[in-house]
Structure 1
Amino acid sequence: MSLSRRAFLATPAAMAAAQTQSSTPALSNISLTPESYCGWPTLARRANGELLVAYSGGRETHVCPFGRVELMRSTDDGRSWSWPEVLMDTVIDDRDAGLCVTPSGAILVTTFTSLAYETTMQRAQDWPAERTARWQAVQRRSTQAQRTALLGTWMLRSTDGGMTWSAPYRVPVNSPHGPVAISGNRLLYPGKELWEPGQKARVAESTDDGQTWRMLADIPLRPGDRYEDYHELHGVETSDHRLLVQIRNHSKTNAGETLQCESTDGGKTWSQPRAIGVWGLPSHLLRLRDGRLVMSYGYRRAPFGNQARVSEDHGKTWSQPITISADGVRGDLGYPSTVELSDGSLLTAWYEQQAANPKSVLRQARWRL
């Protein structure tokens, strides 16, 4: 009895096939500053084939006052990477860096600022004297009022291939991987109101290539859920012109599983989020040239690593997991994002804390479906 590919993906044999395939991705570290903790990257591909990866670099740990937004480039499909460029470095912590290349060629980089490290300082016990001195010196660069005024969700924009950048400007929401381009010369930014009362999960829209943004819609809540439980959204437009958003979920129902909702009216209204049977977070969405969708996500339980799934029906159903990496030593890893290269292969980048290095590094895998 013959099976279509879609039917095959639903069979037990699909898992075996995925696991066989998962042993073949070529894994490599791409951090050029292993002395610094690097985290939460986003990978994007320009029309000329150049790859960009934005991330939070210059860090000491997962939470610290030293984070800054950095960018690296590759002109050979990720075989080699440029020395990091610092795009934004405020006096507080600049964290997750998202990337979007718009149809015009503009490059948008997103980030958010945080004062969470101040709580870490207050709770610090038995720190080495030199570490305490470093953190205290950082605080002497600004007043508490100045630091609080810097809290926000930010965007930078370049129209010359990243040679020059705008000053950071505030945008309504944040998500780790930033906005996405959709049809009609629009940009869609599903994200979180991090510093607003209620911390809603919402969708913003730009019709001027990312220069300005307006709020378009709220993401609805499932009965019993709270917005405090919805985090780190990402979206994509399907080839049948629906919009799809996935959500990192921490509600008691399906905790740690990815939720998904859809819009059929250009993002004005959204379906109630639903579980799709995928444990892992957060996810990044990509539409391939053939119309299939790929979701890649961190897998923060043994075997620690990153996984991907494929949809051949515009996100209605998803395949069994494909293992991208499974050699992590702990849960401080993930936030993968994926691009399709000119030869049809896929490149995924993420961050990971490894056994031999307490500083998290950036890694990548080249693989095929």
Structure 2
Amino acid sequence: MPTTRRSFLARSAQLTAAVVAAPWISRAAEAKATLLETKVISQQPEFYHGWPTVARRRNGELWVSWSGGRESHVDPFGQVHAMTSRDEGATWSFPRVLLDSATDDRDSGVVETAKGALLVTTFTSLAYETHLQKASVFEDLKDTGWVSKRMPAEQVAKWQAAHARLTDAERKAELGEWLIRSTDGGRSWSTRIPTVVNSPHGPIQLNDGRLLYAGKQLWSKERKIGVAVSADDGLSWQWLAEIPARKDDKASGYHELHAVEAANGTIIAQIRNHNPANTGWTLQSDSTDGGRTWSEPRPICYGLPSHLLRLRDHRLLMSYGYRRAPYGNRARVSADHGRTWGEEFVISADGMNGDLGYPSTVELADGTLLTVWYETMAQPKLAVLRQAKWRLA
């Protein structure tokens, strides 16, 4: 249709209103994405794979770590697993168990430090206890409805046996946020190191040499969100600063942070939000003083949780799960150090339900991007790890 002056002015007014309503969404020239390949990379269909992170070492080796050895989203069996690729994700090694505590080890982040150490993060949880208590009650009452359909008697017995590995006091003592560390390329690993906070994708390396971990205090009374730092390459961690909550928000509604340092020195932390305002969205807080103080979070977009990456051209990339139809994973790019974000583009949109996501992304040698996430599929019935290779223009 021909453009009239009236239609042009009306369209201009709509665009202006959109920018005013959502100033964090850039209206500049948008990046374009081309999907090159999507495939399943996990190799153990008998296990549920959850909450992975991918990292690329300076020697080009890729690492993926995740919570493996599981039979469901919540259970007492979680372990920290990892596998590697030396051909940019074309093939992957068979998984290794890096950590197996006597309770549920959940999530897993991985990062290589500037000094060459590999850090893998996790946290321990007793969330399975509620499910076990319900199952045990139904079993005692011979309630064949719930038990036979949801947890057979032999499965209840298996969970109870795993639960009994520790006493009540020992289980509570196990709760924590943890890191294991390798200085020989992943051949051997330290004992667990407490990290003060936890978040699925772990800490980041700052330009000043410190490691910064944006996350949540899971087992403290306050359960604050904020950042911890390490000045000794991950051997010890100290609380640095709290990230403030928005007016009318509760910090208890904030979860699963990840951070990145922009080329101009701004540190950006994104937050999974479950407060009534912008529930299911990613929020963002910024620090311009090395993480000592943080801005009040602002909404970015629907989707969670996010992973942040600084590309070689200094643009920032956020990738995040999309847990409504069409289920999958999406991404946005910022060309102004995180002040605004471009329109979203789709990495995957063929998910069966919302039990998926936690994507993380690395940039390969040729500029191609590789994103890894977990996803429940019809076959195999347990959650798998999927990978996409794609390119930005």
TM range (shorter): over 0.9
Partner of 1:230: 254
Partner of 2:129: 118
Partner of 2:362: 339
The secondary structure found in structure 1 opposite 2:159 is helix
Partner of 1:50: 61
Q: Does 1:151 align with 2:168?
A: no
1:25–1:324 Cα contact (<8 Å) kept: no
CA distance in 2, matches of 1:184, 1:312: 23
User: What is the CA deviation profile of residues 70-94 of structure 1, one whole-angstrom value per residue up to 9, with x for unaligned ones?
Assistant: 0100000011111111111111100
Q: Does 1:100 align with 2:111?
A: yes
Partner of 1:167: 191
Q: Does 1:330 align with 2:353?
A: yes
Query: Mapping of 1:272-287 within 5 angstroms?
Result: 272-276=296-300, 278-287=301-310
- How far apart are residue 136 of structure 1 and its match? 1.4
- How far apart are residue 25 of structure 1 and its match? 3.4
- How far apart are residue 132 of structure 1 and its match? 1.2
Q: Which moved more, 1:349-358 or 1:339-348?
A: 349-358
User: What is the CA deviation profile of residues 214-264 of structure 1, one whole-angstrom value per residue up to 9, with x for unaligned ones?
Assistant: 111000111111111010000000001111100000111111111001111
CA distance in 2, matches of 1:257, 1:100: 25
- How far apart are residue 10 of structure 1 and its match? 2.3
Amino acid in structure 1 at the alignment position of 2:49: C
Q: 1:28 aligns with which of 39, 48, 61?
A: 39
Q: 1:86 aligns with which of 97, 108, 111?
A: 97
1:178–1:234 Cα contact (<8 Å) kept: yes
Query: Mapping of 1:127-146 within 5 angstroms?
Result: 127-146=151-170
CA distance in 2, matches of 1:247, 1:291: 22
Amino acid in structure 2 at the alignment position of 1:198: E
The 1:254–1:134 alpha-carbon spacing in structure 2 relative to 1, beyond 3 Å, is same
CA distance in 1, matches of 2:347, 2:116: 29
Which structure has the larger Rg?
A: 2
- How far apart are residue 161 of structure 1 and its match? 0.4
Q: 2:280 aligns with which of 256, 276, 285?
A: 256
- In the alignment, structure 2 segments of 5+ residues that lack a partner are 1-24, 136-145
Partner of 1:217: 241
| Corresponding pairs, count | 355
Amino acid in structure 2 at the alignment position of 1:201: I
Partner of 1:70: 81
Partner of 1:4: none
> Moved runs in structure 1, 4+ residues, more than 3 A?
none
The secondary structure found in structure 1 opposite 2:202 is coil
Q: 1:288 aligns with which of 311, 331, 335?
A: 311
CA distance in 1, matches of 2:163, 2:241: 38
CA distance in 1, matches of 2:261, 2:195: 21
Partner of 1:10: 27
Partner of 2:140: none
- In the alignment, structure 1 segments of 5+ residues that lack a partner are 1-7
Amino acid in structure 1 at the alignment position of 2:68: G
Query: Mapping of 1:172-183 within 5 angstroms?
Result: 172-183=196-207
TM-score, scaled to structure 2: 0.88
Q: 1:242 aligns with which of 266, 270, 285?
A: 266
User: What is the CA deviation profile of residues 10-39 of structure 1, one whole-angstrom value per residue up to 9, with x for unaligned ones?
Assistant: 27x95xx85xx45x3310101110110000
1:198–1:227 Cα contact (<8 Å) kept: no
2:273–2:283 Cα contact (<8 Å) kept: yes
User: What is the CA deviation profile of residues 30-71 of structure 1, one whole-angstrom value per residue up to 9, with x for unaligned ones?
Assistant: 111011000000000001000000000010000001100001
- How far apart are residue 9 of structure 1 and its match? 6.4
**Percent identity over paired residues:** 59
- How far apart are residue 209 of structure 1 and its match? 0.8
Amino acid in structure 2 at the alignment position of 1:261: S
Amino acid in structure 2 at the alignment position of 1:259: L
Partner of 2:373: 350
Q: 1:269 aligns with which of 289, 293, 311?
A: 293
- How far apart are residue 357 of structure 1 and its match? 2.3
